[in-house]
Chains A and B, each alone.
Chain A
Amino acid sequence: MNKTQAVAAVLAATTTEPIVCTTGYACRIARHLDDRPSHFYMTGSMGLASSIGIGVARETGRTTVVVDGDGSLLMNPVGLITAGALPTLPLAHIVLDDGCYASTGGQTVPSRGADLCALALASGYARAEETDDAERFAELVRAAVADCTAPVLVLARLTSADPPVPGRVEGDLAEHARRFGHSLAGKG
């Protein structure tokens, strides 16, 4: 499974649910595959995708999907601790783990000793599962989104190369935030 396939599986499992994508390729791929008003492309603030998702889920009560990366999650694991302390938060936290910082040159993420699923469970997540199989991943994401009553984590272990990655997210970021806000208000 590569990152493009994993993002496609997240989009296939969702319709109008808010989706917060972390900085880097996750945003670019999601936008290229289907640029829904319910997507929030976090182009900076690496490490904070789950925090934004927590705020959205807590405020709207809606199942909120976070598309995170291994490097992004490790830049600020306090997101895990914060979500884990909110046992009824409907947060489907998807982690695309390719073991590298893909958009900055493929440097290795220093996670050799870290078990991200164990970290989520130890933080209070209700479930955390990982797979390197595309079909199994799609199944886990569907299940996480369909019945989301607590923070859950699904980790895709990515092992294949991606096709050329689409261009940067362009346009006015304030306008992008307004579009997402309208979508959350049911106007999008």
Chain B
Amino acid sequence: MNALQHVRLGTYYVAQLPEQDDFEFWRDRARALVQCDVPPDRIAWVPPGGNGDLFTHGERRAPVPPADAAMVRASKPFIQLARSAICHSDPDRFALLYRLLWRHQANPKVLEDRADGDVRRLDELARHVRRDIHKMRAFVRFRLVEDEAAQGGESEEHYVAWFEPEHHILRANAGFFTRRFANMRWSILTPKGSLHWDTQALAEGPPAERADAPAGDPVEALWRKYYASTFNPARLKVGAMLKEMPRKYWKNMPETSLIPELVAGAQAREAAMVDAGSIEPSERPDTLDAIASAIHSCRRCPIGELENQAVMGEGPRRAALMVVGEQPGDQEDLAGKPFVGPAGQVLDRFLQQAGIDREQTYVTNAVKHFKFTQRGKRRLHQSPTAKEIDICRWWLEGERALVQPRLVLALGASAARGLLGKTVSISRVRGAAQMLEDGSELWVTAHPSYLLRLEGPAREEQERLFAADLAAVAERLAELAQ
């Protein structure tokens, strides 16, 4: 028996959908229409509220397929795509789906031809819907309200959100929110309908308006603070942000009103940071003379701002040994030369004793300016901070790169920090070499001014250690020279 016998020739079918996203209705009606062999151009699919009156002559009942009608075939991927696409707001989606189902009967592999116009459109609709579903999961923002207490009971927490989806995805997304916020009472209000969850069951409600939702929530202030703080002003990629969070979502998200000021502030903030560091590493002078004149105007740390002059290292341009102290003292600052004060005299004595020629040694400091506090007429030495040593390390590295010593002797913890970048304990590291990254050896000993501060047996003990360290350095220098 021919299926067409069940269809009066020339009949026009009108399928009026009860709901925008009613996939089951579409599937049942489409199955019957295919079984009755009704071609796509003889059906008008009318969404709810749509203008079905244009088709007053159409047949509104579903056709009854013959008992022996063939099974309607639909592949699993097609059903999946169709379930998504049906939620799209495009009024032509039902007809598109029917057209593809119709073609699917003749060619079951029609979906694999991704260059086909209908297949691409289906793909596109499904993609839009998936994205809208995903963005709803991302951008819904609940606000907490305390519901009026039921008689005698306590007031209850109720989380309410207002969201404006582009497509008919509210029902499709309900499962996600019930699985996630299971122990909360919540409502999601949209212009297309609403959902209410009471921790046990889900209820659907009519379309809502923005005014039905609460206007704010104190926690939003914390969230906005977090949003502003987690933003890194050194990177600005506004395009990337807009691609994933288009403006249409902004009006219902508490954090987005911060964006213009964050963007405007970002460039100013980065410029200020780079300025604060003043000199670029690439601009570091490449001769000792140039470094000597550049350090005078160095204001990268506050020591440079004091009443003092910079003291450059002194010695042969290529020396096998570099001795590094902490910073110039009062007399060094006045003389403009390193280690000429009391500590310098101690150093000279011990160098001589160890057989090291100061004339053949490059002597410098970890910090180039004298740090002090003024007490009456006296300038009292102050230790540089770790930060100040780290800043000045840049100059010391410049000197090391030019002098290229094979052995570096650090006097005291500040000098060691200037060379290692970390604070070490003298007693733990003295007496043995450490490898620096350029291959030279670092030896660490006490600062001679430390010896000057001690008295009696303690001083004798420290002088013995200091002499031993210098002797070891002298011995190692001789080995390296071979």
The judgment on whether A and B are partners is no
